[in-house]
Chains A and B, each alone.
Chain A
Amino acid sequence: MIISVASGKGGTGKTLVATSLALSLAYEQKPVQLLDCDVEEPNAHIFFKAQPVSERTVSLPVPKVNYEKCQYCGKCAEVCQFNAIALMKRTLVIFPDVCHSCGGCWHLCPTGALEPAAREVGTVSVSQTADLRLVSGRLKLGTHISPPVVKAVRETAERDYITIIDGPPGSSCPVMAAVTDTDYCLLVTEPTPFGLNDLALAVDMLRVLKIPCGVVINRDMPGNQIIDRFCAENGINILLRIPFQTEIARAYAKGIPLVDSDKIWRDKFYNLYHQISGEVSQ
């Protein structure tokens, strides 16, 4: 089973939920792995003091010119939809930053003067603590295309594990790469107009992708019904509520997972997993 954790908005507590869900399973001796797909700001490793056992780079092919073959016909610059190649008088200028690695230029070059060359865009590392396998992706600084790094993290997942994916914020391409083909998506939100606005966007995205979802309300306050109303209107289950408490914020600030700060949360998260597997197997 693959459960993704997303939120629309950043800072709602995705990592808090993903790490605690994974640990609650690990403490019950279930084979579980956590994939940190928030590659722009990977933070799950902060909660597990483990050194990576392996690391590999993620590369994308970008064009490289062989000037002996180049006839300066300009075909490559013409077909590039991303303006990543410009033909100056007797030189080709390539902008790897805006290249989408589609391969159009090297495929269509009439003289075979362009070849793909690897460009590093990020890394994927695997670490193992006594309880948990953690796979983290990290976008290289100054690089802007994160979906390939997200995909590389997902390809590093072991089969036969319960997989929890900590996704990026938002509802655009990196999130799509993190939640596509998962069995269930857990949406973490907070009971504010900001939270509701972004939750609604995330729900729309999941409808497009046809992924079932449920909600976790973080920083919940009694009497605040803004998320409850939305979920009732849209037929979405609220699976867990985490109260607005300064102690929880303080423990999190120190890098202590919620399930370790108070044992009551172990059962709650383990129960959360059972609710999800119940919904998925229906």
Chain B
Amino acid sequence: MKELTIISGKGGTGKTSILGSFATLSGNSVICDCDVDAANLHLLLHPDIKEKKPFYGGKRAEISPELCSQCGTCEELCRFAAIKDSVVNKYACEGCGLCYQVCPSGAVQLIDHLSGYCYLSETQWGPMVHAKLGIAEGNSGLLVNLVRKKAREIAKERNIPLIISDGPPGIGCPVISSLAGTDMALIVTEPTHSGIHDMERVIRVASGFGCLTAVCINKYDLDEENCRRIEDAANKLGVPVIGRIPYDPVMHQSVINGVPATLLEPGEAQRSIRQVWDQVTVLLGVC
């Protein structure tokens, strides 16, 4: 079983649009949305939810007013400034439990904290695992781990050879969780100054995971000079550019109508996406 993860460094480069198209081209993969913070893939693939599982991302402290002696030890030691006047701010609490350990009157309890949900669904093109992190919740890396674990279980059970994952933007905790153990990272970038800057950073992060890495330039004809700069930068870092997708209103239509681009009237953009997909399957050895 092989795993492909799409990342970008920067948001809005077209990860989800490309992955949604890949799902239709593959037709036999487990589809994963690892952007648990702002999941969007469901808006393209319209999964039919079969199971919804609560996600407990950690614990939160709670102080019982009856037992609290107002000594202030917890407030003084909390490094997250999460306790004020013996009341825990659940958005600031990281669940480290130091307050629980030091409280002289046993007034602190650690309580499992519901931070989101994980969904198992079916789409026309295969099973899909996705999630929703609660509002203002942390621990997205842990939820990404859970999503990927579920996807692997399903792939094993049903003997599906490929998992394709839509990754989150950035280079932080959820991205790192999305890359751990993946076979290939496909970096989607765009020819803007920001796109180049973020691509260089995310290539360096991906290189720490020892997976195959390749770059795909979306909206490449927006600025041909920046496009060359991307190719040079990727080259210097030893990462191949395996595709260029033109700036095409059909991609915008796809998002507005909630339909993968590959299902709309075929044109240059769809042809390019298919070429990238062919390259990916060759590199992964799943064709």
- Residues of A that sit less than 8 Å from B by CB: 8-12, 15, 40-41, 43, 46, 79, 81-82, 100-104, 107-108, 139, 141-146, 168-174, 176, 191-194, 197-198, 201, 204-205, 208-209, 224, 244, 246, 249-250, 252-255
Other contacts beyond A43-B193, A169-B169: 7, CB < 8 A: A101-B79, A103-B79, A144-B172, A197-B43, A249-B219, A252-B192, A254-B193
- Residues of B that sit less than 8 Å from A by CB: 9-13, 16, 37-38, 40, 43, 58-59, 77, 79-80, 91, 94-98, 101-102, 133, 135-138, 140-141, 168-173, 175-176, 190-195, 197-198, 201, 204-205, 208, 219, 222-223, 226, 247, 252, 255-256, 258
Task: Out of B9, B95, B97, B136, name the residue touching A79 (CB < 8 Å).
Answer: B97
With a cutoff of 8 Å between Cβ atoms, the chain B residues found around residue A12 in the complex are 11-12
Q: How far is the CA of A46 from the CA of B198 in the complex (A)?
A: 11
Task: Out of A141, A144, A194, name the residue touching B43 (CB < 8 Å).
Answer: A194
* Ranked 6 nearest A-B pairs via Cβ: A11-B12, A10-B11, A102-B96, A40-B170, A144-B173, A170-B37
Task: Look across to chain B and name the residue whose beta carbon is closest to the beta carbon of A196.
Answer: B43
Q: How far is the CA of A253 from the CA of B219 in the complex (A)?
A: 11
Task: Look across to chain A and name the residue whose beta carbon is closest to the beta carbon of B10.
Answer: A41
With a cutoff of 8 Å between Cβ atoms, the chain B residues found around residue A41 in the complex are 9-11, 169-171, 194, 197-198, 201
Instruction: Indicate if the CB atoms of A250 and B98 lie closer than 8 Å.
Output: no
- If the complex has contacts A43-B193, A253-B191, A253-B222, are A141 and B12 also in contact, measured as CB distance less than 8 A? no
Instruction: Indicate if the CB atoms of B256 and A193 lie closer than 8 Å.
Output: yes
With a cutoff of 8 Å between Cβ atoms, the chain A residues found around residue B40 in the complex are 9, 194, 197-198
Q: How far is the CB of A141 from chain B (nearest CB, A)?
A: 5
- If the complex has contacts A142-B208, A198-B38, are A11 and B13 also in contact, measured as CB distance less than 8 A? yes
With a cutoff of 8 Å between Cβ atoms, the chain B residues found around residue A141 in the complex are 171, 201, 204-205
Task: Look across to chain B and name the residue whose beta carbon is closest to the beta carbon of A105.
Answer: B98
Task: Out of A9, A104, A145, A191, name the residue touching B12 (CB < 8 Å).
Answer: A9
Q: How far is the CA of A102 from the CA of B110 in the complex (A)?
A: 15
Instruction: Indicate if the CB atoms of B172 and A8 lie closer than 8 Å.
Output: no
Instruction: Indicate if the CB atoms of B136 and A43 lie closer than 8 Å.
Output: no
With a cutoff of 8 Å between Cβ atoms, the chain B residues found around residue A253 in the complex are 190-193, 195, 222-223, 226
With a cutoff of 8 Å between Cβ atoms, the chain B residues found around residue A40 in the complex are 169-172, 175
Q: How far is the CA of A201 from the CA of B135 in the complex (A)?
A: 7
Task: Out of A108, A171, A250, A255, name the residue touching B222 (CB < 8 Å).
Answer: A250
With a cutoff of 8 Å between Cβ atoms, the chain B residues found around residue A244 in the complex are 252
Q: How far is the CB of B185 from chain A (nearest CB, A)?
A: 14
With a cutoff of 8 Å between Cβ atoms, the chain A residues found around residue B193 in the complex are 43, 46, 253-255
With a cutoff of 8 Å between Cβ atoms, the chain A residues found around residue B102 in the complex are 107-108
With a cutoff of 8 Å between Cβ atoms, the chain B residues found around residue A209 in the complex are 136
Task: Out of B11, B137, B173, name the residue touching A9 (CB < 8 Å).
Answer: B11
Task: Look across to chain B and name the residue whose beta carbon is closest to the beta carbon of A169.
Answer: B11
Instruction: Indicate if the CB atoms of B91 and A176 lie closer than 8 Å.
Output: yes
With a cutoff of 8 Å between Cβ atoms, the chain B residues found around residue A176 in the complex are 91, 136
Instruction: Indicate if the CB atoms of B77 and A205 lie closer than 8 Å.
Output: no
Q: How far is the CB of A101 from chain B (nearest CB, A)?
A: 6
Q: How far is the CB of A184 from chain B (nearest CB, A)?
A: 18
Q: How far is the CB of A269 from chain B (nearest CB, A)?
A: 19
Instruction: Indicate if the CB atoms of A108 and B79 lie closer than 8 Å.
Output: no
Task: Look across to chain A and name the residue whose beta carbon is closest to the beta carbon of B42.
Answer: A197
